[in-house]
Structure 1
Amino acid sequence: MNKLIFLKAYLRGFIVSKFKVQNNNAETNRYKDYGILNPSIGTANLGDLIIYDSVYSKLRNIYPDDLFTDFPTQLYTSHDAMISMNERHLLFVSGTNLLSSNLDRIFQWKIHFGHKRLLKNKVVLMGCGWWQYQGGINKYTAAIYKTILSKDVLHSVRDEYTANKLKSIGINNVINTSCPTLWSLSPEKCKQIPVSKASEVVTTLTFYHKNSELDKTMLRILSENYNKVYLWIQGMNDFHYYNEINENFHNIELISPSIEAYNNLLEKGNIDYIGTRLHAGVRALQKNIRTLILAVDNRAIEISKDVNLNVIKREDVLDMVNFIDNDYVTNIKLPTGNIDKWISSLNKYK
């Protein structure tokens, strides 16, 4: 079914775009009109909202007076939407791991050949990552990336692995800025994060990377070492997964699937974060919470290599006791030079 939907969208967009004359309005305007390719539209994963929140905040600082229009990345766009995207000065891709080696088979980003002409040289990556560890980029995907990604500015990616993947197809105007959700974690900010264990902890599960044995071990250790354990439901399927592995833990309380509920919990203080969701952990750091992330895939591992994010592999779940029992100093090492370079490269569009 997914392939049929993809082919229908692909053929319609490709055929119509062949005959569409671009409307480049030469009228000078006091304000610029930018687009954000927003993964939080239509998402079932609240982590995408955490990413978008940081992306929008940073872009608003760069362009304080201009207009931003959001377009989805996780939903197929009509031809009208593609025309609207074409009319923006630039289109910023709002973080997340939507890049892949085979856009014809991996649909994290609902983009196809029909976008090539209308989005030519329009798209700017902002803290994007690679879907998973993959082989070489196929010709179909390379043709799309090399056409739509702007040649006039730098592209911001969240880790060195992603930068190297793009460079492998000749896209060299790319730098590793880490994820925009981390950009606020300056040395001064990190000093505000507690060093010692709190009395309570909030955790998360990841339904699409299940490992019932390791995840139950994580919950068991947390239950034994903290007075209260909160489980934030970052997506509805996480709730169903918890019901599958629940061993009637006596001190686990569910936190409803909303950003507001999670923020409120973090802001009350005296709480740690230990869980498998990357951006739930980053939001905890943003709220001055002592944090350990158990990596279930490439994303947290690759970011941790570059910026010293506190990450262990989920297979090493027993090692989380070391974090619980001992002091830990948060020391995020941001690539501030690269972040500044990326922002400076946008000056020509101000």
Structure 2
Amino acid sequence: MRHIHLIDTSIASDNLGDEIIVEECRPYIKTLFPEAYITTSSGHDGLGPWGRQLVEKAEIAFLLGTNALAPHDQTKRRFIWTIREEDRPVLKNKVVLFGVGANRDFDKVLRVQRKLLAQVLSSRYAHAVRDSSGGRIVAASGRKAINTTCPTLWRYADYSPSVPAEKPDTVCFTLTKHKSDPLDAEMVAILKDTYQKLTFWPQQPRDLDYLRELTDLSGITVLPASLGAYDAYLESTSTDVVGTRLHGCIRGLKHGHRVLAISIDNRAREIGAETGLPTLARDDIPAQLVERLASQSRPSLRIPSASINQFLSQF
């Protein structure tokens, strides 16, 4: 019996975007290994004593999604993918990246980080990265990367998303507290002027505190901070989905809505440029947001199906 271990970045996470990503990854694991024994540990908390025992016995340890590739020394700080010194021997040559991206822009990958990744990343398998920056980190560590884009978009390798041609009178929007900017207030003001109804989804609970800093909540419906509540809303409402939360927008696309991700860092910027996912740089909000909201149409996505198949066929 094959033993496959999953390093789950949605466990102990306060960001529901991680849950969106992992939910999309798991069906592929099930298809690839239908009879395998599957065990799981937390990416955020690290392996722990039980996790180390499980990984030591596993054939592969898949790191599931999110922006968990760092160019800096990730062992010295709190990070999405926690690796302690005692984890390194059991992870050695076992970790396979499953749609993982870079966590920031960078000029170089530090030597200490190259050494860590060279130790834990599998040399047998190529690694699925979701952006070119992630590929650069993997390559700098002496391992092979395949840019498959994010697993949340893999479904569109088989069909194009279907979205309405006309702008609805409702918008669901998101914000990112830990990457705040004065232009966020301008975005909210434009949304108030453009739509009759506004709904806010806090992908992290602290995003709601940030919204309160930016504007009066009167006239804004606030959804619970849960993926179930968000899905129920998207399933039942004709709405646009706009905001700084990349995977909140991608979830909107899954439910057949027009979306516009406001890029605030390398993540949406790179995925948008490489796949055609509708994005707008935050700096361009004053000049372009009104026009983009009026003209959003069916996205023409470029999903690298050959690269996805190349990655999956290894197993």
Structure 1 match to 2:235:
267
Q: Is the 8 A contact 1:227 1:251 kept in 2?
A: no
Amino acid in the other structure paired with 1:188: Y
Structure 2 match to 1:218:
187
Structure 1 alignment gaps of length 5 or more: 1-28
Amino acid in the other structure paired with 2:30: R
Structure 2 match to 1:75:
45
CA RMSD of aligned residues (A): 1.5
Structure showing greater Rg = 1
Amino acid in the other structure paired with 1:36: L
Equivalence map 1:22-41=2 (5 Å): 29=1, 32-41=2-11
How many Å separate the matches in 2 of 1:187 and 1:330? Answer: 14
Say whether 1:174 aligns with 2:145: yes
Equivalence map 1:46-195=2 (5 Å): 46-101=16-71, 102-108=73-79, 109-171=81-143, 173-186=144-157, 188-190=159-161, 192-195=162-165
Structure 1 match to 2:177:
207
Q: Number of aligned pairs?
A: 312
Say whether 1:229 aligns with 2:201: no
Percent of residue pairs identical: 28
1:189 positional shift: 3.5
Structure 2 alignment gaps of length 5 or more: none
How high is the TM-score relative to the length of structure 2? 0.95
How many Å separate the matches in 2 of 1:112 and 1:143? Answer: 14
Report the more deviating stretch, 115-124 or 104-113. Answer: 104-113
Against the structure 1 CA distance between its residues 106 and 335, is the aligned structure 2 distance closer, same or farther, given a 3 Å change threshold?
A: farther
1:334 positional shift: 0.2
How many Å separate the matches in 2 of 1:265 and 1:65? Answer: 35
Q: Secondary structure at the match of 1:70?
A: strand
How high is the TM-score relative to the length of structure 1? 0.85
Amino acid in the other structure paired with 1:277: R
1:203 positional shift: 0.3
Amino acid in the other structure paired with 1:335: P
Structure 2 match to 1:11:
none
Q: Is the 8 A contact 2:97 2:127 kept in 1?
A: yes
1:345 positional shift: 1.2
Q: Is the 8 A contact 1:269 1:289 kept in 2?
A: no
Q: Is the 8 A contact 2:241 2:258 kept in 1?
A: yes
Structure 2 match to 1:238:
207
Q: Is the 8 A contact 2:175 2:243 kept in 1?
A: yes
How many Å separate the matches in 2 of 1:163 and 1:126? Answer: 12
Deviations 1:176-209 (A, max 9, x none): 000001101246342x222321121100010110
Against the structure 1 CA distance between its residues 142 and 57, is the aligned structure 2 distance closer, same or farther, given a 3 Å change threshold?
A: same
Against the structure 1 CA distance between its residues 44 and 306, is the aligned structure 2 distance closer, same or farther, given a 3 Å change threshold?
A: same
Amino acid in the other structure paired with 1:148: V
Against the structure 1 CA distance between its residues 40 and 327, is the aligned structure 2 distance closer, same or farther, given a 3 Å change threshold?
A: closer
2:299 to 319, 325, 330: 330
Q: Is the 8 A contact 1:273 1:281 kept in 2?
A: yes
How many Å separate the matches in 2 of 1:68 and 1:60? Answer: 9
